[in-house]
Structure 1
Amino acid sequence: MGSSKKNNVRTISQEAFDAFVKENIEDLGLDPTEALQDAIETLTLQGVDLSGIVTCIPGVSSVNDNPVIQCLDRLKEIDLNDSTMKEMTELLDKLCDLCSEEGSGNQSIAIRNGGLDLVISICSKIKVTNNEHEHALVSALKAMACLIYDLQSTEAFRKNDGTKIVVDILNSCHENIAILNSGFSVVAAAATGNELVKESFMDLKVDELLVQILRGKNKEGIQHPYDAIRVLLTADDGRVLASQVYGYARRFAKIGIVEALVSALHEGINSPNLISASIALKAVAVNDEICMSIAEHGGIDAVLLCIDDSGEQNNKIVAKSCCTLLCKLAGSDANKSAIVQKRGMDRLIKLSCRFSDDPSVLQEIMSIICTLSLRSPGNAASAVEAGAGDFAIQAMQNFPAAHQMQKQSCLMIRNLVVRNPENRTILLGNGIEKIIRKAKENHASCRDAATDALRDLGLDNYNM
């Protein structure tokens, strides 16, 4: 059959697949449509990975009729010069569109037929000397990002020296917004799930380039650099036991990324980069020192203001992203005090009233209050005084099926009462025991958190 094993997955070549279909026609007497369908079903049942195989009906169409193959073949034929630059741009845009069609399998077809290698080669040869060159390079980078979507493609990118080619382009065109955006989309795609690619980018000092760009005059028009930071600082390669991303985050912090990202937060809720910047900043905040640095540069003030504005403008996406960041910053004891001193508890409870209909937002608010109250009886007292107890009771009653929110509420309640006997009296008097027991009974994921909350509420029968 011409199949082979690779990473415990059986594969088959295009030639072997076509021969299988032909055999079905000639030996079994099946008509072309039946022969193709039988080949697909038989090979799938045998565990053969058919991704990237062009499945065409013999006599009706051929592999060469596939639009991806046609696009790649033409790109291979074109000589790179000024007269062909427009056609090349159109072909690269078409390839990108084809590979963006969800469920089409076109990405796999392009990869199997050398599409990524080809596009990387094209990028390495385009020198931006005029607008047409710029458009072609932007299209090539966009096509490259479309073709990088799994471990196989990120490895192909790395082995074809893609990291150096892309970083060289970004360094030489660091004032071109279109090239920066498309180039950093490649960085984000290629570094996803591949520790070696992250390492290669960091060896090429992409961190210094990112900080330079985010502190530059063109920062308002770019978005993908934030995505690149997030990916570079995410430990998402299952093959690696100990990721280096913690060290990378410290490197980013040392060269000024905190100031650049906090500056983006100060632009406020209407900034198109607010959410991306908050997610990137959360990835950078890996230790107490960095969390405190973010606060020193006005990060807590900026986040709290954005939280206030998200409630006023009913923007749930901003509310959730900023709450997630604030929770990370609250991991620092010094920051806990700062958040509470800035009326953080009152502002969070106010936000919970604004989004009382969305358990996903309420869950994020509970996470912050839980973190602020951890080992801090003073903050726990402030939280209950601000209305955190009533907030927990109402949310758990209103959304009994929201198991993650129910669990987070139990965790928050535990921190509110474990060192504050007066809070136990208040919450028990308001009927919290019955609500927690209901969550424990209804959701397996809540049992441990509910048991701990009942125990720290001072109940003897907490295991029941």
Structure 2
Amino acid sequence: MAKRRITQETFDAAVRENMEEFEMASEEALREAVEQFESQGVDLTCIVKAVAAVSSEDTPEESTHEVLQALDSLRIGDNSASVTEVEADMKRFTEHCLVGFAQRFLAAQKDAYPVILSHCKKSVEEPEALVNALSALAALTNGQPDLLEAEGKQLFLDVLKKHREDPSVTCVAVRTVRHCCLKHEQNRQDLVKGGVLPLLTGAVTQHSESAALVKEASAALRVMCYDDDIRATFGNAHEHAKSIVLEHKGLKVLIQAAKTHFEDTSVLSELCATLSRLAVRNEFCQDICDLGGLKLMMTLLADSYETAELVRQVLSALRALAGNDDVKDAVVNAGGVQYIVIAMNRHMNNAAVCEQGCGCLSVLALRKPENCQVIMENGGALAAVQAMKTHTNSLNVQNQACMLMRNLVARMPQYSQPILDMGAEALIAQALLTHQYIADVGKAALRDLGCQVELRELWTGEHGSLSY
């Protein structure tokens, strides 16, 4: 059942009523209003939960929030204010938008987008002012990609071309592009058609020493390969990934950037996450290996296994690469199984690492009996069992662990008893009771392990008479 929604004005009026009619202090009045609306099933996600400042003693109904005060200053000073005043107001607006989504939503409701876009256009020739204006636009569009329209798209492309030599302008422009493309398929397609992909890969190459820019551009390239807009019947994620790799040498660009920032785990995490998104074809997986990507990931697992986020992203990338059967063998021959198990044991309390670790081992074991032997000998199954014990409430961990056990014994039934001796049957049975979603893979794992399992036949292929 959908929750009810109210306007910001309704919420502010309720707070004001608590203060005036019931003589509550501001904090108490605010808390009472929040509790009142939430008890009525009202969704307050888009509501600024703060006491609005009264702009005049005679007109309390004109009370406003700080983000709108900053917006009004920008609107009033559009033509008359000094550069210093506009810069200060722009930074103040950006800070308030960064507080939370409710502030950004309220600003957008009051037509902040055209105001900020106007300042961006006026600042195109002034890099410092442009950085401030684009920062405000990036903050405003975060979570609100629908605000972007044709004029804004063209502005992004023009700025990225005009200021390609300036890493500061390019970085914030790329961030704004990323915000406007997340969960918005049409924006992605329009910007790709406008030529944004070579601008993004070019930014990584040209400013390879800038960690901030490399991270932003890598994340933006990854977003171009998402299929996350539920409003779009069909997405171009695969086509965009193919274009990045084949037309703009994206794999080479990203792997070279990773080598440049080998000591920066945050940059490496972003680059690995993007590489996993680009490994959408068999030959792309092989290309990543040939370019030194696999060797790089093995080194990261060996040297940086203490960093949970980096480990998670490296495992995710390896999991994607292992879709290629030749790469599976390369990962195992490079000692990948040992590194994966060590990483899982080191971060056993991290559900995301355990999920990716089990998923990676599962892919390595698929249709590869010799790999199954290596996984068993190096404690892969035991690590998966421990992950199931540790993360009983994590559907993804349970699902990937069950898949791993099934793949280990599908062609190597002699491993069934050792896995059962680890307590796998009881853990899978518990997972089936806790997570309905994994019913198919859980029962398949029990069946292949030789356990008793009830398999209900949903349809026999027979049909009776049909009535019209």
| TM-score normalised by length of structure 1 | 0.83
* Paired amino acid for 1:432: A
| Equivalent residue in structure 1 for 2:301, among 292, 297, 307 | 307
- The reply on whether 1:108 has 2:105 as its aligned counterpart is yes
Match of 2:343 in 1: 351
Residue 248 of structure 1: how far off its partner (Å)? 0.7
Q: Residue 238 of structure 1: CA displacement?
A: 0.9
Query: 1:394 corresponds to which residue?
Result: 386
Inter-partner Cα distance in structure 2 for 1:439 and 1:13: 44
Counterpart residue number, 2:462: none
Matches within 5 A, 1:285-296: 285-296=279-290
Contact persistence 1:210–1:225 (CA under 8 A)? yes
- Count residues in correspondence: 438
Q: Which letter does structure 2 place at the counterpart of 1:68?
A: V
Give the match's secondary structure for 2:82.
helix
- Aligned CA distance change for structure 1 residues 167 and 439 (closer, same or farther; 3 Å): same
What is the root-mean-square deviation in Å for CA atoms of aligned residues?
A: 3.6
Match of 1:5 in 2: none
In structure 2, C-alpha distance between the alignment counterparts of 1:49 and 1:459, rounded to whole Å: 49
Aligned structure 1 segments of 4 or more residues deviating by more than 6 angstroms = 8-14, 36-42, 44-50, 52-58
CA offset at residue 351 of structure 1? 2.0
- Residue 170 of structure 1 deviates from its aligned partner by 1.4
Q: Alpha-carbon deviation of 1:13? A: 10
Aligned mates of 1:51, 1:244 — CA distance in 2: 30
Q: Secondary structure at the match of 2:155?
A: helix
Report the residue type matching 1:295 in the other structure: C
1:281 counterpart residue number = 275
Change (3 A) 1:356 1:194: closer
Superposed CA offset, 1:419-445 (max 9, x none): 112222432455433443343345434
Aligned-pair CA distance for 1:127 = 3.3
Q: Specify which of 145, 150, 156 is matched with residue 147 of structure 2.
A: 156
Q: Distance in 1 between matches of 2:224 and 2:287?
A: 20
Q: How does 1:26-425 map to 2 (within 5 A)?
A: 31=21, 59=58, 61-63=60-62, 66-78=65-77, 84-102=82-100, 105-128=102-125, 133-150=126-143, 153-159=144-150, 161-221=151-211, 222=213, 223-254=215-246, 255-266=248-259, 267-311=261-305, 314-425=306-417
> Which of 235-244 and 444-453 deviates more?
444-453
1:182 counterpart letter in structure 2 = V
Output aligned runs, 1:424-463, within 5 Å. Answer: 424-461=416-453
Taking only the aligned residue pairs, the percentage that are identical comes to 22
For 2:413 and 2:137, the matched residues in 1 are separated by 60
Q: Give me the whole-angstrom Cα distance separating, in 2, the residues matched to 1:352 and 1:49.
A: 39
2:461 aligned residue: none
Alpha-carbon distance between aligned partners in 2 of 1:64 and 1:452, rounded to the nearest angstrom: 62
Distance 2:409 2:360 in 1: 16
Identify if the C-alpha distance between structure 1 residues 250 and 39 changes in structure 2 by more than 3 Å, giving closer, same or farther. same
Q: Greater CA deviation, 70-79 or 300-309?
A: 70-79
* Distance in 2 separating the partners of 1:234 and 1:353: 31
Separation (CA, whole Å) in 2 of partners of 1:454 and 1:387:
20
Q: CA deviation at 1:332?
A: 1.4
- Partner of 2:206, secondary structure, is coil
Give the Cα separation in 1 of the matches to 2:453 and 2:13. 68
For 1:65-119, what per-residue CA distance to the aligned partner results, in whole angstroms no more than 9, with x for missing partners? 54333322332333569x822221111100011112237x332232122211111
Q: By how many angstroms is 1:199 displaced?
A: 1.2
**What one-letter code is carried by the residue in structure 2 that aligns with 1:293?**
D
Shift of 1:455: 0.8
Alpha-carbon distance in structure 2 between the residues aligned to 1:48 and 1:394: 39
Q: Counterparts of 2:23 and 2:61 in 1: how far apart (Å)?
A: 13
Which digits, 9 at most, give the CA deviation of each residue in 1:225-279, with x for residues without a partner?
Answer: 1221122211111111110121011110111111111123333253541111111
Paired AA for residue 424 in structure 1: S
Residue 252 to residue 80, structure 1, CA distance change in 2 (3 Å): farther
Find the counterpart in structure 2 of residue 4 from structure 1.
none
State how far apart, in whole Å, the 2-side matches of 1:148 and 1:154 are.
6
Q: In 2, Cα distance between the equivalents of 1:297 and 1:107?
A: 42
Tell me the distance in 2 between the aligned counterparts of 1:45 and 1:403: 32
Q: Measure how far apart 1:409 and its partner are.
A: 1.3
**Whole-Å Cα distance in 2 between the matches of residues 64 and 394 of structure 1?**
57
Aligned letter for 2:442?
A
